[in-house]
């Protein structure tokens, strides 16, 4: 794992008179340390040092060949033989191969009626690659002779819409597999032990896990194994005297432009980005992502000449892409774990304008703020219930990087709001069955049958009751409430239930109605679009995104029209008395009270983060 792209490997082969050959030894020179030498002994085993001299004088050998190979992560490895090349003595084109993020592997089972060509097509292989790969099998196996129950692993490279078949492994029986590999521009097939299939199946799972982790921003053992940065520090340019520059991508800027603006030579920026592209598409980097560059000087070059030695990109709270320069000038890349530290933080705010503005001003992470708003949305009408001078408290987990910067929030552990002197407090607790929810002081779940406000950050623009209709021009009963919000703002299911309708409904425009029980229904109108898979008879969960704010139907602008129906009749969503949720009992209630007291103590022991308004508050 400590080998790197560009490192030289010398491979020795022993060639018999009949043209067959076997491995004799390997030499790997390393910068600044002893050369690694491994050779075959007379008894056939391998040990430190060059091959046993007795082997070189053995009567079964005609000559020994030496092949020097340059490691590469691509299929264009340059190989130079010190003896005349021949098909029998050619070394493998690539000794160690990095696995780029464009690589995909699929495991297929052979069923009745399947053909090898059909399975390769099913996996997504291009037709021309299928023909060449199948043809390569003919010298060693009839490709038409596949049986039900056999397993096939297909390896593809999918880059920017272009697909290419890289290879496959077919399990013939419990002892033999067939391996087909793309060698340059040709496919070559060979027989291998059965464990070649087992290794391929394991790699399928590992690549899938690593790719999933890369997509979600997590870092797991598979990420380290498949995409991890593993070049030896001794092979990299020394960074002890490097000049470091940290910056963030600006809207509209590319990674290349950002690196040039920071002082990177154009040739170095290109080379580093090429190495980075093996793991990340630079075009998909977002504004605000942190970039770190390290520059070094060479005393043998013209004064003032700098070279890029390292590029680091923070991909997520856990992942960082590292691109480093080798002594020979090449760049290597890989993912490293971004060191983060978990800590509890406490926030106390006095609301001056709005809960949102106060929380943002005090640096509450956005994901924690969203959780806090959703937590209280069961009981609080954020337009009518909140007054200037009301207070809120929060205890939450957060993660900071090595510089102390907050990189993500995690769980909201405790939160309270004091509205007009009345305090609502809720504590996070996990039940015996693994379900996590929030409960009040007595162990009553915060969840109600329905949310009063099934949308985040919206303002109430029209209440329930008689009003002058904005488009018709005369007074008309308004049998719901309107929430003004930007187009495409997500709309949530107010409670668990089944979609009764998801279609256009006259003046309502794009409309959804959900049945929550025999008594309760909710309706959502003027949507711009439905969420994926939302259709009639679909089961939905409370808080699930079901659609997006729009202005379809009879509407003067983007907003959500929200209705609650009790026994088929529309009622005021903000005034209806809603049934409560779960009440803890027995051992779960005892466990909850213990955790509640622990959270109270933790809250008291954490330093407070306050707004300027709080600092002037005598309380």
Residues 81 and 89: beta-carbon distance below 8 Å: yes
Per-residue pLDDT averaged across 567-594, rounded?
84
Q: How would residue 475 be classed by pLDDT, with cut points 50, 70 and 90?
A: low
Please check whether residue 419 is in contact with residue 390, taking contact to mean a CB–CB distance below 8 angstroms. yes
Nearest to 327 by CA among 302, 304, 303, 298: 298
Best mean pLDDT range from 6-15, 94-103, 251-260, 292-301: 251-260
- Across the chain, what does the average pLDDT equal? 81
Q: Which run of H or of E encompasses 559?
A: strand 559-566
Structural domain contains residue 227: no
- List all residues 6 or more positions away from 614 whose beta carbon is below 8 Å from its beta carbon: 348, 349, 350
- For residue 352, the model assigns a pLDDT of 79
26: nearest Cα among 56, 5, 48: 48
How far is it, in rounded angstroms, from Cα 324 to Cα 311?
6
Does residue 95 fall inside a structural domain? no
Residue 1 lies in a domain: no
Per-residue confidence at 476, pLDDT binned at 50, 70, 90?
Answer: low
Same domain? For 329 and 351 the reply is: no
- Report the 10 Å Cβ neighbour count for 295: 19
State the DSSP string of 178-193: EEEEEETTEEEEEEEE
Q: Number of structural domains, the chain?
A: 5
Shared domain check, 356 and 328: no
Number of neighbouring beta carbons within 10 Å of residue 596 = 21
- Alpha-carbon gap, residue 559 to 168, rounded angstroms: 54
Reduced 3-state DSSP string for 196-257: HHHHHHHHHHHHHHHHHHHHHCCCCHHHHHHHECCCCHHHECCCCCCEEEEEECCCCCCHHH
Range name among 86-100, 346-360, 568-582 with the lowest pLDDT average = 86-100
In a domain, 221, yes or no: no
Q: Does a structural domain hold residue 434?
A: yes
Q: Is residue 223 part of a domain?
A: no
Task: List own/partner pairs for 352-357 with CB under 8 A and 24 or more apart.
Answer: 352/388, 352/611, 352/613, 353/388, 354/386, 355/382, 355/386, 355/392, 356/457
How high is the pLDDT of residue 64? 42
Which SS3 state, helix, strand or coil, does residue 126 take? coil
Comparison of pLDDT for 545 and 484, the residue scoring more: 545
Residue 499 CA to residue 515 CA, distance in Å, equals: 6
pLDDT digits (tens, 9 = 90+) for 306-332: 999 999 999 888 889 999 999 888 999
Long-range CB contacts (< 8 A, 24+ apart) of 574-578?
574/381, 574/384, 574/452, 574/463, 574/464, 574/481, 575/464, 578/378, 578/448, 578/449, 578/450, 578/452
Q: Give the residue with greater pLDDT, 583 vs 154.
A: 154
Q: What is 480-524 written as a DSSP string?
A: SEEEE--TT-EEE-SSSEEEEEEEE-GGG-EEEEEE-SSSEEEEE
Sign of CA dihedral 395, 397, 402, 403: negative
Confidence tier at 19 by pLDDT (50, 70, 90): low
Q: Are 269 and 319 members of one domain?
A: yes
Residue 382's CATH number: 3.10.450.350
Which residue range(s) make up the domain with 298? 236-337
Measured distance CA(93)–CA(563) in Å, rounded: 67
Query: CA angle, 310 as apex, 307 and 311 as ends, to 5°?
Result: 115
Q: Are residues 365 and 296 in the same domain?
A: no
Distance CA 401, CA 217 (A): 15
pLDDT number for residue 611:
41
Share of the chain above pLDDT 90, in %: 36
Which residue has 């409309």 as its token pair?
511
pLDDT tens digit sequence for 131-159: 999 999 999 999 998 999 999 999 998 87
How confident is the model over 230-241, as pLDDT tens digits? 888 888 999 988
Structure tokens at 590: 């005892």
Residues 6+ apart with CB under 8 A from 584: 429, 431, 439, 443, 444, 445, 592
**CB-based contacts of 140: which residues, under 8 Å, 6+ apart?**
178, 189, 190, 191
pLDDT, one tens digit per residue, over 265-279 is 999 999 999 999 888
The pTM of this model reads 0.54
CA distance 558 to 44: 78
- In the predicted model, what is the mean pLDDT of residues 472-490? 76
pLDDT, tens only, 55-85: 654 333 334 444 444 444 434 434 444 443 3
Work out the average pLDDT over 594-614: 77
Which of 289, 320, 337 terminates a domain? The answer is 337
Domain end residue (candidates: 306, 337, 368): 337
Four-residue CA torsion sign, 518, 522, 527, 530: negative
Q: In this structure, is residue 178 part of a structural domain?
A: yes
CATH number of the domain that 526 lies in?
A: 2.70.70.10
Radius of gyration of the chain (CA): 33
Position 609 confidence tier, pLDDT thresholds 50, 70, 90: low
Do both 443 and 530 map to the same domain? Answer: no
Domain co-membership, 344 together with 444: yes
| CA 137/CA 142 separation, integer angstroms | 7
Residues 472 and 563 in one domain: yes
pLDDT band at 612 (very low <50, low <70, confident <90, very high): very low
- Tell me the C-alpha distance between 66 and 82, whole Å: 6
DSSP letter (8 states) at residue 269: H
Pairing of strands 608-610, 341-350: parallel
Q: 245 and 319 share a domain?
A: yes
Domain stop point among 317, 337, 357: 337
Residue 87: its pLDDT value, please? Answer: 37
CA 296 to chain centre: 33
Average pLDDT value for residue range 108-115 = 93
DSSP 577: P
Q: Is the confidence at residue 17, as pLDDT, over 90?
A: no
**Do 566 and 475 have their domain in common?**
yes
pLDDT attached to residue 37:
80
**Same domain flag for 212 and 108:** yes
| 2 belongs to a structural domain | no
Does residue 91 surpass a pLDDT of 60? no
CB hemisphere CA count around 322 (13 angstroms): 18
DSSP string, 379-420: T--TTTT--TT-EEEEEEEEEE-TTS-EEEEEEEEEEEEEET
Pair (489, 529) in one structural domain: yes
- The arrangement of strands across the sheet holding 33-40 comes to 46-48, 33-40, 21-30, 8-16, 61-70, 79-81
- Please state, as a whole number, how many other Cβ atoms lie within 10 Å of the Cβ of residue 551: 16
Query: Do 348 and 430 fall within a single domain?
Result: yes
Does 408 or 31 have the greater pLDDT score? 408
Residues in contact with 334: Cβ distance below 8 Å, sequence separation at least 6, in sequence order: 227, 228, 229, 230, 231, 279, 321, 322
């Amino acid at each position: 794992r400590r080998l790197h792209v560009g490192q030289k490997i010398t491979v020795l082969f022993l060639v018999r008179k009949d043209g067959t050959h076997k491995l004799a030894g390997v030499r790997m020179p390393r910068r600044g340390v002893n050369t690694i030498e491994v050779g075959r002994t007379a008894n056939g085993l391998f040990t430190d040092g060059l091959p046993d001299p007795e082997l070189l004088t053995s009567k079964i050998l005609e000559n020994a060949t030496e092949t020097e190979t340059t490691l590469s992560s691509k299929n264009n490895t340059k190989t130079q033989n010190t003896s005349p090349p021949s098909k029998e003595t050619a070394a493998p084109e690539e000794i160690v191969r990095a696995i780029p993020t464009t690589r995909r592997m699929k495991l297929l089972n052979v069923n009745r009626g399947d053909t090898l060509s059909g399975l390769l097509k099913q996996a997504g292989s291009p037709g021309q690659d299928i023909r060449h790969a199948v043809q390569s099998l003919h010298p060693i196996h009839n490709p038409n002779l596949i049986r039900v129950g056999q397993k096939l692993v297909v390896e593809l490279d999918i880059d920017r819409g272009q697909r290419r078949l890289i290879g496959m492994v077919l399990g013939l029986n419990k002892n033999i597999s067939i391996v087909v590999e793309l060698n340059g521009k040709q496919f070559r097939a060979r027989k291998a032990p059965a464990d070649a299939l087992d290794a391929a199946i394991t790699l399928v799972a590992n690549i899938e896990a690593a790719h999933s982790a890369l997509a979600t921003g997590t870092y797991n053992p598979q990420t380290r194994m498949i995409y991890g940065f593993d070049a030896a520090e001794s092979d990299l340019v020394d960074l002890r005297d490097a000049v470091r520059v940290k910056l963030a991508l600006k809207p509209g800027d590319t990674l290349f432009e950002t690196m040039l603006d920071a002082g990177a030579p154009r040739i170095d920026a290109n080379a580093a980005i090429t190495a980075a592209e093996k793991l990340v598409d630079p075009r998909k980097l977002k504004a605000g992502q942190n970039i770190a560059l390290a520059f070094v000087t060479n005393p043998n070059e013209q004064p003032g000449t700098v070279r890029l030695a390292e590029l680091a990109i923070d991909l997520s709270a856990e992942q960082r892409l590292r691109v480093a320069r080798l002594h020979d000038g090449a760049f290597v890349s890989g993912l490293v774990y971004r060191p983060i530290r978990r800590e509890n933080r406490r926030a106390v705010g006095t609301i001056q304008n709005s809960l949102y503005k106060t929380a943002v001003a005090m640096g509450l992470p956005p994901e924690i703020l969203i959780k806090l708003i959703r937590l209280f949305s069961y009981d609080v009408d954020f337009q009518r219930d909140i007054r200037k001078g009301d207070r809120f408290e929060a205890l939450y987990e957060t993660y900071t990087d090595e510089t102390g910067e907050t990189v993500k929030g995690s769980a909201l552990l405790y939160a309270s709001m004091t509205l007009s002197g009345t305090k609502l407090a809720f504590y996070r607790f996990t039940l015996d069955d693994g379900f996590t929810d929030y409960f009040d002081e007595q162990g009553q779940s915060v969840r109600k049958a329905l949310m009063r406000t099934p949308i985040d950050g919206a303002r109430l623009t029209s209440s329930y009751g008689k009003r002058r209709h904005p488009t018709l021009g005369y007074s008309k009963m308004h049998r719901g409430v309107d929430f003004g919000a930007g187009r495409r703002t997500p709309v949530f299911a107010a409670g668990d239930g089944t979609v009764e309708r998801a279609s256009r409904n006259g003046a309502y425009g794009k409309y959804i109605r959900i049945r929550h029980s025999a008594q309760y229904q909710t309706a959502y109108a003027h949507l711009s679009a439905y969420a994926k898979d939302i259709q009639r008879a679909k089961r939905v969960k409370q808080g699930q995104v079901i659609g997006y704010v729009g202005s379809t139907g009879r509407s003067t602008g983007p907003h959500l029209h929200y209705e609650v129906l009790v026994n088929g009749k529309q009622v005021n969503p903000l005034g209806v008395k809603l049934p409560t949720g779960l009440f803890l009992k027995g051992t779960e209630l005892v466990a909850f009270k213990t955790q509640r007291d622990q959270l109270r103590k933790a809250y008291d022991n954490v330093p407070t983060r306050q707004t300027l308004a709080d600092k002037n508050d005598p309380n």
